[in-house]
Amino acid sequence: MEVNKVIDAKGLACPMPIVKTKKVMDELNSGDILEVHATDKGAKSDLSAWAKSGGHEILKNTEEGDVLKFWIKKA
Amino acid sequence: MANTKVAIIAANGTLFDAYKVFNLATAAAASDAEVGIFFTFEGLNLIHKEAHKNLPLPVGKEHFGEGFKQANVPSIEELAGIAQELGIRLIGCQMTMDVMNLEKDAFIDGIEVGGAATFMEYAKDADITLSF
Protein backbone atom coordinates (compact mmCIF):
# COMPACT_ATOMS: atom_id res chain seq x y z
CA MET A 1 0.00 0.00 0.00
CA GLU A 2 1.45 3.35 -1.01
CA VAL A 3 0.94 5.85 1.78
CA ASN A 4 0.96 9.53 0.85
CA LYS A 5 1.15 10.97 4.34
CA VAL A 6 1.52 9.79 7.95
CA ILE A 7 0.03 11.60 10.95
CA ASP A 8 1.35 11.04 14.43
CA ALA A 9 -1.58 11.77 16.75
CA LYS A 10 -0.22 9.69 19.61
CA GLY A 11 -0.84 11.17 23.06
CA LEU A 12 -3.56 13.48 21.77
CA ALA A 13 -7.01 13.41 23.37
CA CYS A 14 -10.40 13.85 21.72
CA PRO A 15 -11.12 15.78 19.52
CA MET A 16 -7.56 16.41 18.36
CA PRO A 17 -6.94 13.20 16.38
CA ILE A 18 -10.00 14.05 14.27
CA VAL A 19 -9.09 17.72 13.93
CA LYS A 20 -5.53 16.87 12.92
CA THR A 21 -6.70 14.21 10.44
CA LYS A 22 -9.15 16.64 8.87
CA LYS A 23 -6.49 19.32 8.38
CA VAL A 24 -4.05 16.96 6.70
CA MET A 25 -6.77 15.26 4.63
CA ASP A 26 -7.71 18.65 3.20
CA GLU A 27 -4.23 18.90 1.66
CA LEU A 28 -4.41 15.49 -0.02
CA ASN A 29 -5.96 14.53 -3.35
CA SER A 30 -8.78 12.15 -3.99
CA GLY A 31 -7.54 8.55 -3.85
CA ASP A 32 -4.53 9.43 -1.65
CA ILE A 33 -3.90 7.27 1.40
CA LEU A 34 -3.39 8.74 4.85
CA GLU A 35 -1.92 6.73 7.69
CA VAL A 36 -2.93 7.83 11.20
CA HIS A 37 -1.35 6.72 14.49
CA ALA A 38 -3.29 7.41 17.68
CA THR A 39 -3.39 6.31 21.30
CA ASP A 40 -6.75 7.85 22.20
CA LYS A 41 -8.95 4.78 22.72
CA GLY A 42 -11.93 6.71 21.41
CA ALA A 43 -10.15 7.21 18.09
CA LYS A 44 -11.14 3.74 16.95
CA SER A 45 -14.82 4.56 16.66
CA ASP A 46 -14.25 8.29 16.11
CA LEU A 47 -12.02 7.94 13.06
CA SER A 48 -14.38 5.35 11.59
CA ALA A 49 -17.33 7.70 12.10
CA TRP A 50 -15.34 10.65 10.77
CA ALA A 51 -14.32 8.73 7.64
CA LYS A 52 -17.89 7.59 7.07
CA SER A 53 -19.26 11.12 7.34
CA GLY A 54 -16.81 12.35 4.71
CA GLY A 55 -17.22 9.33 2.45
CA HIS A 56 -13.59 8.27 2.98
CA GLU A 57 -12.69 4.61 3.11
CA ILE A 58 -10.85 2.93 5.96
CA LEU A 59 -8.70 0.42 4.12
CA LYS A 60 -7.20 -1.16 7.18
CA ASN A 61 -6.77 -0.67 10.91
CA THR A 62 -4.49 -2.34 13.41
CA GLU A 63 -3.69 -2.25 17.10
CA GLU A 64 -0.03 -2.52 18.05
CA GLY A 65 0.18 -2.35 21.83
CA ASP A 66 -1.40 0.99 22.75
CA VAL A 67 -1.09 2.39 19.25
CA LEU A 68 -4.06 2.33 16.92
CA LYS A 69 -3.20 2.64 13.25
CA PHE A 70 -5.55 3.52 10.43
CA TRP A 71 -5.13 3.71 6.69
CA ILE A 72 -7.71 6.01 5.16
CA LYS A 73 -8.31 6.55 1.45
CA LYS A 74 -9.57 10.00 0.58
CA ALA A 75 -12.91 10.19 -1.21
CA MET B 1 -21.56 15.59 7.70
CA ALA B 2 -21.39 17.99 4.80
CA ASN B 3 -24.74 19.77 4.41
CA THR B 4 -25.36 19.30 8.13
CA LYS B 5 -25.98 22.33 10.27
CA VAL B 6 -25.25 22.31 14.01
CA ALA B 7 -26.52 24.98 16.42
CA ILE B 8 -25.09 25.03 19.94
CA ILE B 9 -26.05 27.13 22.95
CA ALA B 10 -23.33 27.58 25.58
CA ALA B 11 -24.98 28.93 28.73
CA ASN B 12 -22.59 27.76 31.45
CA GLY B 13 -19.04 28.67 32.30
CA THR B 14 -17.11 25.90 34.02
CA LEU B 15 -14.26 23.95 32.47
CA PHE B 16 -16.57 20.96 32.01
CA ASP B 17 -19.03 23.06 30.03
CA ALA B 18 -16.23 24.46 27.90
CA TYR B 19 -14.98 21.02 26.88
CA LYS B 20 -18.48 19.79 26.10
CA VAL B 21 -19.11 22.76 23.85
CA PHE B 22 -15.77 22.97 22.06
CA ASN B 23 -15.13 19.24 21.66
CA LEU B 24 -18.50 18.61 20.05
CA ALA B 25 -18.30 21.79 17.98
CA THR B 26 -14.81 21.10 16.62
CA ALA B 27 -15.58 17.42 15.98
CA ALA B 28 -18.64 18.46 13.99
CA ALA B 29 -16.75 21.13 12.05
CA ALA B 30 -13.89 18.69 11.36
CA SER B 31 -16.54 16.42 9.86
CA ASP B 32 -17.52 19.25 7.50
CA ALA B 33 -20.67 20.33 9.34
CA GLU B 34 -21.59 24.01 9.51
CA VAL B 35 -21.38 25.00 13.18
CA GLY B 36 -22.51 28.06 15.12
CA ILE B 37 -22.32 28.59 18.88
CA PHE B 38 -24.35 31.14 20.83
CA PHE B 39 -22.62 32.13 24.08
CA THR B 40 -24.98 33.50 26.69
CA PHE B 41 -24.75 34.27 30.43
CA GLU B 42 -21.92 32.28 32.06
CA GLY B 43 -21.25 30.73 28.68
CA LEU B 44 -19.62 34.01 27.68
CA ASN B 45 -16.66 33.01 29.88
CA LEU B 46 -15.75 30.44 27.25
CA ILE B 47 -14.78 33.16 24.78
CA HIS B 48 -13.69 35.86 27.25
CA LYS B 49 -10.04 36.70 26.50
CA GLU B 50 -8.88 36.28 30.09
CA ALA B 51 -11.56 34.10 31.72
CA HIS B 52 -11.31 31.28 29.19
CA LYS B 53 -7.64 30.75 30.07
CA ASN B 54 -8.54 29.81 33.62
CA LEU B 55 -12.06 28.43 33.82
CA PRO B 56 -13.09 26.95 37.18
CA LEU B 57 -13.93 23.30 37.71
CA PRO B 58 -17.50 22.81 38.95
CA VAL B 59 -17.91 23.12 42.73
CA GLY B 60 -17.12 19.77 44.35
CA LYS B 61 -15.33 18.50 41.22
CA GLU B 62 -12.00 20.20 41.78
CA HIS B 63 -10.27 16.83 42.10
CA PHE B 64 -10.70 16.28 38.36
CA GLY B 65 -8.09 18.96 37.68
CA GLU B 66 -5.32 16.39 37.77
CA GLY B 67 -7.18 14.15 35.34
CA PHE B 68 -7.32 16.97 32.78
CA LYS B 69 -3.54 17.36 32.97
CA GLN B 70 -2.91 13.63 32.62
CA ALA B 71 -5.31 13.14 29.72
CA ASN B 72 -3.34 15.72 27.72
CA VAL B 73 -6.48 17.51 26.56
CA PRO B 74 -5.93 20.74 24.62
CA SER B 75 -6.49 23.99 26.51
CA ILE B 76 -9.75 25.86 26.00
CA GLU B 77 -7.75 28.73 24.52
CA GLU B 78 -6.36 26.31 21.97
CA LEU B 79 -9.76 24.76 21.22
CA ALA B 80 -11.33 28.18 20.72
CA GLY B 81 -8.59 28.93 18.18
CA ILE B 82 -9.18 25.62 16.42
CA ALA B 83 -12.91 26.35 16.37
CA GLN B 84 -12.22 29.60 14.55
CA GLU B 85 -9.77 27.97 12.12
CA LEU B 86 -12.48 25.45 11.27
CA GLY B 87 -14.86 28.29 10.47
CA ILE B 88 -17.18 27.90 13.44
CA ARG B 89 -19.32 30.99 14.07
CA LEU B 90 -18.92 32.25 17.62
CA ILE B 91 -21.79 34.53 18.61
CA GLY B 92 -21.71 36.44 21.90
CA CYS B 93 -25.03 37.44 23.44
CA GLN B 94 -25.44 41.21 23.31
CA MET B 95 -27.93 41.33 26.15
CA THR B 96 -25.67 39.40 28.54
CA MET B 97 -22.75 41.63 27.59
CA ASP B 98 -24.86 44.68 28.44
CA VAL B 99 -25.96 43.21 31.77
CA MET B 100 -22.40 42.27 32.67
CA ASN B 101 -21.04 45.56 31.32
CA LEU B 102 -18.67 43.87 28.89
CA GLU B 103 -17.51 45.25 25.54
CA LYS B 104 -16.72 43.21 22.46
CA ASP B 105 -12.97 43.80 22.90
CA ALA B 106 -13.03 41.79 26.15
CA PHE B 107 -13.58 38.72 23.98
CA ILE B 108 -11.35 36.77 21.60
CA ASP B 109 -10.95 38.32 18.17
CA GLY B 110 -13.31 37.32 15.44
CA ILE B 111 -16.48 36.75 17.45
CA GLU B 112 -19.80 38.13 16.35
CA VAL B 113 -22.18 39.85 18.72
CA GLY B 114 -25.88 39.31 18.35
CA GLY B 115 -29.14 38.83 20.13
CA ALA B 116 -31.52 35.94 20.53
CA ALA B 117 -33.08 36.61 17.15
CA THR B 118 -29.66 36.32 15.46
CA PHE B 119 -29.22 32.85 16.86
CA MET B 120 -32.78 31.78 16.15
CA GLU B 121 -32.38 32.83 12.53
CA TYR B 122 -29.23 30.72 12.32
CA ALA B 123 -30.71 27.75 14.20
CA LYS B 124 -34.11 27.60 12.54
CA ASP B 125 -33.04 25.04 9.95
CA ALA B 126 -30.35 23.28 12.00
CA ASP B 127 -30.14 19.49 11.81
CA ILE B 128 -28.63 19.20 15.27
CA THR B 129 -29.27 21.54 18.20
CA LEU B 130 -27.36 21.18 21.44
CA SER B 131 -27.56 23.15 24.66
CA PHE B 132 -24.99 23.19 27.42
Cis peptide before A17, with omega less than 30 degrees from 0?
A: no
Q: What is the mean pLDDT of residues A39-64?
A: 94
Inform me whether the C-beta atom of residue A50 falls under 8 Å from chain B C-beta atoms: yes
**Which residues of chain B have a CB within 8 Å of the CB of A12?**
72
Q: What is the DSSP letter of A18?
A: H
Q: What is the mean pLDDT of residues A10-33?
A: 95
Hey, of B15, B20, B72, which one would you mutate to test binding to chain A, going by the most A CBs within 10 A of its CB? B72
What is the count of structural domains for chain A? 1
CATH number for the domain including A67? 3.30.110.40
Pairing state between β B112-114 and B89-93: parallel
User: H/E/C letters for each residue in B54-114?
Assistant: CCCCCCCCHHHHHHHHHCCCCCHHHHHHHHHHCCCEEEEEHHHHHHCCCCHHHECCCCEEE
Question: Which range of residues forms the domain containing residue B37?
Answer: 5-131
Residues B18, B47, A50, B132, CA torsion sign: positive
CB distance B76 to A15 below 8 Å: no
Contact B31 A50 (CB under 8 A): yes
Rg for chain A, CA atoms, rounded: 11
Tell me, yes or no, if A26 is annotated catalytic. Answer: no
CATH number for the domain including B89? 3.40.1260.10
pLDDT of A61:
95
Give the ipTM of the model, two decimals please: 0.89
Inform me whether the C-beta atom of residue A17 falls under 8 Å from chain B C-beta atoms: no
Q: How confident is the model at residue A1 (pLDDT cuts 50, 70, 90)?
A: confident
Is the pTM higher than 0.90?
yes
pLDDT of A4:
97
Report the percentage of chain A scoring pLDDT > 70.
Answer: 100
Give B47-106 pLDDT, tens digit per residue: 999 999 999 999 999 999 888 888 889 999 999 999 999 999 999 999 999 999 999 999
Distance of alpha carbon A24 from alpha carbon B128, whole angstroms: 26
Q: What is the mean pLDDT of residues B110-131?
A: 96
Q: What is the mean pLDDT of residues B125-131?
A: 98
What is the count of structural domains for chain B? 1
- B80-115 per-residue burial string, b: 16 or more CB within 10 A, e: under 16: bebbbebebbbbbbbebbeeeeeeeebbbeebeebe
User: What residues of B are in the A interface, CB distance below 8 Å?
Assistant: 1-2, 23, 26-27, 30-32, 71-74, 82, 86
A2 Cα to chain B: minimum distance (Å): 25
Inform me whether the C-beta atom of residue A70 falls under 8 Å from chain B C-beta atoms: no
